[in-house]
Amino acid sequence: MQRFFIPQPNGYQIDQTIVFSDEVAHQVRNVLRMGVGELVCVLDNEGGVYEVGVTAVSRNQVTGKILSKQAAWGEPDVQVTLYQSLTRREKFEWVLQKGTELGIRNFIPIVTQRSLVQDITIKPRKLARWQKIVMEAAEQSQRSIMPKVSSPLLFAEAIHQSQANDLSLIAWIFERGSNVEKDPNIEKDSNLKAVLNRWPSLKTVALFIGPEGGFAEAEIENGRSHGLVPFSLGPRVLRTETAALVASTLILHELGDLA
Protein backbone atom coordinates (compact mmCIF):
# COMPACT_ATOMS: atom_id res chain seq x y z
CA MET A 1 0.00 0.00 0.00
CA GLN A 2 1.34 3.43 -0.96
CA ARG A 3 2.42 5.46 2.09
CA PHE A 4 2.16 9.23 2.53
CA PHE A 5 3.07 11.55 5.36
CA ILE A 6 0.28 14.03 6.09
CA PRO A 7 1.34 15.40 9.49
CA GLN A 8 -1.37 15.95 12.11
CA PRO A 9 -0.22 16.95 15.63
CA ASN A 10 -3.04 15.16 17.49
CA GLY A 11 -3.52 12.32 15.02
CA TYR A 12 -6.65 11.37 13.09
CA GLN A 13 -9.97 9.86 14.17
CA ILE A 14 -11.74 6.89 12.61
CA ASP A 15 -14.25 8.04 9.94
CA GLN A 16 -12.58 11.46 9.76
CA THR A 17 -12.38 13.00 6.30
CA ILE A 18 -8.99 14.39 5.38
CA VAL A 19 -7.93 16.65 2.55
CA PHE A 20 -4.68 15.51 0.99
CA SER A 21 -1.91 18.06 0.63
CA ASP A 22 -1.31 19.37 -2.89
CA GLU A 23 1.80 17.23 -3.28
CA VAL A 24 0.09 14.04 -2.10
CA ALA A 25 -2.98 14.84 -4.21
CA HIS A 26 -0.75 15.15 -7.27
CA GLN A 27 0.80 11.75 -6.53
CA VAL A 28 -2.58 10.09 -6.05
CA ARG A 29 -4.30 11.73 -9.02
CA ASN A 30 -1.61 12.18 -11.66
CA VAL A 31 1.18 9.73 -10.86
CA LEU A 32 -0.58 6.70 -9.36
CA ARG A 33 -3.88 7.49 -11.15
CA MET A 34 -5.90 6.21 -8.22
CA GLY A 35 -9.67 6.41 -8.08
CA VAL A 36 -12.43 6.51 -5.49
CA GLY A 37 -12.40 3.47 -3.22
CA GLU A 38 -8.72 2.71 -3.54
CA LEU A 39 -6.63 2.52 -0.39
CA VAL A 40 -3.55 4.38 0.77
CA CYS A 41 -1.60 4.46 4.02
CA VAL A 42 -1.40 7.84 5.76
CA LEU A 43 1.09 8.67 8.51
CA ASP A 44 0.43 11.52 10.94
CA ASN A 45 4.12 11.90 11.90
CA GLU A 46 3.19 11.23 15.54
CA GLY A 47 3.50 7.46 15.19
CA GLY A 48 -0.02 6.88 13.89
CA VAL A 49 -0.48 4.72 10.78
CA TYR A 50 -3.89 4.80 9.08
CA GLU A 51 -5.66 2.95 6.30
CA VAL A 52 -7.44 5.57 4.20
CA GLY A 53 -9.97 5.09 1.45
CA VAL A 54 -9.99 7.67 -1.34
CA THR A 55 -13.42 9.36 -1.38
CA ALA A 56 -13.06 12.04 -4.05
CA VAL A 57 -10.61 12.88 -6.82
CA SER A 58 -10.89 16.14 -8.70
CA ARG A 59 -8.62 18.61 -10.44
CA ASN A 60 -8.52 20.81 -7.36
CA GLN A 61 -8.72 18.38 -4.46
CA VAL A 62 -8.33 14.78 -3.31
CA THR A 63 -9.99 13.60 -0.11
CA GLY A 64 -10.01 10.40 1.87
CA LYS A 65 -11.71 8.77 4.86
CA ILE A 66 -9.88 7.22 7.81
CA LEU A 67 -10.93 3.55 7.90
CA SER A 68 -8.64 2.11 10.55
CA LYS A 69 -5.60 2.83 12.68
CA GLN A 70 -2.71 0.41 12.75
CA ALA A 71 0.14 -0.13 15.17
CA ALA A 72 3.20 1.95 14.34
CA TRP A 73 6.32 0.24 13.12
CA GLY A 74 9.71 1.06 11.63
CA GLU A 75 11.05 3.24 14.47
CA PRO A 76 14.09 2.28 16.56
CA ASP A 77 13.81 2.26 20.34
CA VAL A 78 16.92 4.43 20.51
CA GLN A 79 16.82 7.91 18.97
CA VAL A 80 20.01 8.77 17.09
CA THR A 81 20.70 12.41 16.25
CA LEU A 82 23.35 12.82 13.57
CA TYR A 83 25.47 15.98 13.74
CA GLN A 84 26.94 15.83 10.26
CA SER A 85 29.62 18.23 9.08
CA LEU A 86 28.43 20.06 5.99
CA THR A 87 29.98 18.78 2.80
CA ARG A 88 29.20 18.77 -0.91
CA ARG A 89 25.52 18.78 -1.76
CA GLU A 90 25.32 15.31 -3.28
CA LYS A 91 27.19 13.73 -0.36
CA PHE A 92 25.11 15.44 2.31
CA GLU A 93 21.84 14.57 0.59
CA TRP A 94 22.98 10.96 0.25
CA VAL A 95 23.56 10.86 4.01
CA LEU A 96 20.06 12.24 4.58
CA GLN A 97 18.47 9.60 2.39
CA LYS A 98 20.40 6.57 3.58
CA GLY A 99 20.48 7.71 7.19
CA THR A 100 16.69 7.93 7.15
CA GLU A 101 16.46 4.41 5.77
CA LEU A 102 18.72 3.16 8.57
CA GLY A 103 16.67 4.79 11.33
CA ILE A 104 18.28 8.12 12.26
CA ARG A 105 15.76 10.35 14.04
CA ASN A 106 17.28 13.83 13.64
CA PHE A 107 19.80 15.41 11.27
CA ILE A 108 21.68 18.53 12.35
CA PRO A 109 24.25 19.94 9.89
CA ILE A 110 27.29 21.46 11.57
CA VAL A 111 30.09 23.77 10.46
CA THR A 112 33.52 22.78 11.75
CA GLN A 113 37.03 24.10 11.30
CA ARG A 114 37.68 21.91 8.25
CA SER A 115 34.18 21.88 6.76
CA LEU A 116 34.02 22.52 3.03
CA VAL A 117 31.02 24.76 3.71
CA GLN A 118 31.66 27.50 6.27
CA ASP A 119 28.34 29.37 6.21
CA ILE A 120 25.56 28.28 8.57
CA THR A 121 22.94 30.39 6.80
CA ILE A 122 20.87 28.49 4.25
CA LYS A 123 17.92 29.44 2.11
CA PRO A 124 14.50 28.13 3.17
CA ARG A 125 14.15 26.26 -0.13
CA LYS A 126 17.31 24.25 0.60
CA LEU A 127 16.02 23.23 4.02
CA ALA A 128 12.71 22.32 2.40
CA ARG A 129 14.58 20.22 -0.17
CA TRP A 130 16.44 18.39 2.60
CA GLN A 131 13.20 17.70 4.45
CA LYS A 132 11.57 16.39 1.27
CA ILE A 133 14.47 13.98 0.72
CA VAL A 134 13.98 12.69 4.26
CA MET A 135 10.20 12.42 3.86
CA GLU A 136 10.45 10.38 0.67
CA ALA A 137 13.07 8.09 2.21
CA ALA A 138 10.90 7.61 5.31
CA GLU A 139 7.90 6.67 3.15
CA GLN A 140 9.97 4.26 1.08
CA SER A 141 11.54 2.57 4.12
CA GLN A 142 8.17 2.27 5.91
CA ARG A 143 8.98 4.45 8.86
CA SER A 144 6.21 5.87 11.04
CA ILE A 145 7.91 9.14 11.96
CA MET A 146 9.67 11.44 9.53
CA PRO A 147 13.12 12.51 10.79
CA LYS A 148 13.67 16.21 11.30
CA VAL A 149 16.35 18.18 9.46
CA SER A 150 17.44 21.27 11.39
CA SER A 151 19.22 24.42 10.27
CA PRO A 152 23.04 24.27 10.50
CA LEU A 153 24.87 25.02 13.73
CA LEU A 154 28.42 25.96 14.55
CA PHE A 155 30.33 23.11 16.20
CA ALA A 156 30.50 24.94 19.54
CA GLU A 157 26.72 25.42 19.55
CA ALA A 158 26.14 21.81 18.59
CA ILE A 159 28.16 20.32 21.45
CA HIS A 160 26.17 22.35 23.96
CA GLN A 161 22.90 21.23 22.40
CA SER A 162 23.95 17.58 22.36
CA GLN A 163 24.32 17.40 26.13
CA ALA A 164 20.60 16.64 26.45
CA ASN A 165 21.31 13.13 25.10
CA ASP A 166 22.16 10.05 27.15
CA LEU A 167 25.43 9.73 25.25
CA SER A 168 27.25 11.97 22.78
CA LEU A 169 29.85 10.40 20.51
CA ILE A 170 32.45 12.05 18.30
CA ALA A 171 34.27 10.22 15.52
CA TRP A 172 38.02 10.55 15.93
CA ILE A 173 40.71 9.92 13.32
CA PHE A 174 43.77 8.64 15.17
CA GLU A 175 46.59 11.16 14.75
CA ARG A 176 49.89 9.91 16.11
CA GLY A 177 51.61 12.42 18.34
CA SER A 178 48.55 14.57 18.98
CA ASN A 179 47.66 15.72 22.48
CA VAL A 180 44.51 13.63 22.33
CA GLU A 181 46.50 10.54 21.39
CA LYS A 182 48.87 11.12 24.32
CA ASP A 183 46.05 11.33 26.86
CA PRO A 184 46.24 8.16 28.98
CA ASN A 185 42.50 8.35 29.66
CA ILE A 186 41.69 7.49 26.04
CA GLU A 187 41.86 3.80 25.20
CA LYS A 188 43.48 3.37 21.80
CA ASP A 189 41.48 0.22 21.09
CA SER A 190 38.26 2.00 22.03
CA ASN A 191 36.26 1.13 18.95
CA LEU A 192 32.60 2.05 18.77
CA LYS A 193 31.37 -1.32 20.02
CA ALA A 194 33.59 -1.12 23.09
CA VAL A 195 32.39 2.40 23.83
CA LEU A 196 28.71 1.45 23.56
CA ASN A 197 29.20 -1.52 25.88
CA ARG A 198 30.05 0.93 28.66
CA TRP A 199 26.67 2.71 28.37
CA PRO A 200 23.77 0.25 28.74
CA SER A 201 20.11 1.14 28.29
CA LEU A 202 20.62 4.14 26.04
CA LYS A 203 17.54 5.93 24.72
CA THR A 204 19.11 8.94 22.98
CA VAL A 205 22.49 9.13 21.27
CA ALA A 206 24.17 12.09 19.58
CA LEU A 207 26.65 11.20 16.84
CA PHE A 208 29.19 13.75 15.58
CA ILE A 209 30.79 13.08 12.21
CA GLY A 210 33.53 15.37 10.95
CA PRO A 211 34.40 16.68 7.50
CA GLU A 212 37.01 15.48 5.05
CA GLY A 213 40.17 15.40 7.17
CA GLY A 214 38.24 14.87 10.39
CA PHE A 215 37.75 17.14 13.36
CA ALA A 216 40.63 19.40 14.38
CA GLU A 217 42.44 18.36 17.55
CA ALA A 218 41.12 21.43 19.37
CA GLU A 219 37.56 20.42 18.45
CA ILE A 220 38.06 16.92 19.85
CA GLU A 221 39.42 18.38 23.08
CA ASN A 222 36.58 20.90 23.26
CA GLY A 223 34.06 18.14 22.72
CA ARG A 224 35.60 15.97 25.42
CA SER A 225 35.47 18.85 27.88
CA HIS A 226 31.72 18.97 27.29
CA GLY A 227 31.17 15.24 27.71
CA LEU A 228 31.57 13.97 24.14
CA VAL A 229 33.15 10.53 23.96
CA PRO A 230 35.69 9.96 21.14
CA PHE A 231 35.50 6.69 19.25
CA SER A 232 37.27 5.04 16.35
CA LEU A 233 35.84 3.17 13.37
CA GLY A 234 39.02 1.20 12.83
CA PRO A 235 42.40 1.49 11.15
CA ARG A 236 41.18 2.88 7.83
CA VAL A 237 40.14 6.46 7.13
CA LEU A 238 36.58 6.65 5.82
CA ARG A 239 34.95 9.38 3.79
CA THR A 240 32.64 11.58 5.83
CA GLU A 241 29.49 10.16 4.26
CA THR A 242 30.74 6.59 4.71
CA ALA A 243 31.65 7.20 8.35
CA ALA A 244 28.20 8.63 9.07
CA LEU A 245 26.41 5.54 7.81
CA VAL A 246 28.86 3.00 9.24
CA ALA A 247 28.71 4.57 12.70
CA SER A 248 24.90 4.87 12.59
CA THR A 249 24.57 1.24 11.55
CA LEU A 250 26.87 0.05 14.32
CA ILE A 251 25.04 2.09 16.96
CA LEU A 252 21.62 0.80 15.93
CA HIS A 253 22.92 -2.76 15.66
CA GLU A 254 24.65 -2.77 19.03
CA LEU A 255 21.59 -1.25 20.71
CA GLY A 256 19.32 -3.94 19.32
CA ASP A 257 17.58 -2.36 16.35
CA LEU A 258 19.34 -3.66 13.24
CA ALA A 259 19.74 -7.42 13.05
pLDDT 10s digits, 50-109: 999 999 999 999 999 999 998 888 899 999 999 999 999 999 999 999 999 999 999 999
pLDDT at residue number 118: 86
* pLDDT confidence of residue 247: 96
The residues, ordered by sequence, that sit 6+ positions from 168 with a Cβ below 8 Å of its Cβ are 159, 162, 205, 206, 208, 223, 227, 228, 229
Q: For the domain covering 3-70, report its CATH number.
A: 2.40.240.20
Q: Which of 162-171, 196-205, 206-215 has the lowest mean pLDDT?
A: 196-205
> Which pLDDT value is given to residue 181?
55
pLDDT at 182: 57
Report d(CA 162, CA 199) in Å as an integer: 16
> Where in the chain are all domains bearing CATH 3.40.1280.10?
79-254
pLDDT band at 199, cuts 50/70/90? confident
Reply yes or no on domain 79-254 having CATH 3.40.1280.10.
yes
Q: Note the pLDDT tens digit of each residue in 155-197.
A: 999 999 999 999 999 998 765 555 555 555 555 557 888 888 8
Average pLDDT over residues 40-51: 94
- How many CA within 13 A on the CB side of residue 109? 26
For 195-251, where are the E strands, in sequence order? 204-209, 229-231
Q: Are strands 79-85 and 49-57 parallel, antiparallel or unpaired?
A: unpaired
- Kindly report the average pLDDT of the chain as a whole number: 91
Q: Is 223 left (phi over 0), alpha (psi -120 to 50) or beta?
A: alpha
Please report the pLDDT score of residue 139 as a whole number: 95
Q: Is residue 76 a contact partner of residue 257, using CB atoms and an 8 Å limit?
A: yes
Amino acid letter, 249: T
Q: d(Cα 88, Cα 58) in Å, to the nearest integer? A: 41
Query: Above 90 in pLDDT, residue 240?
Result: yes
User: CATH 2.40.240.20 occupies which residues in the chain?
Assistant: 3-70
**Cα 151–chain centre separation:** 13
B/e letters for 58-84, b = 16+ CB within 10 Å, e = fewer, are eeeebbbbbeeeeeeeeebebbbbbbb
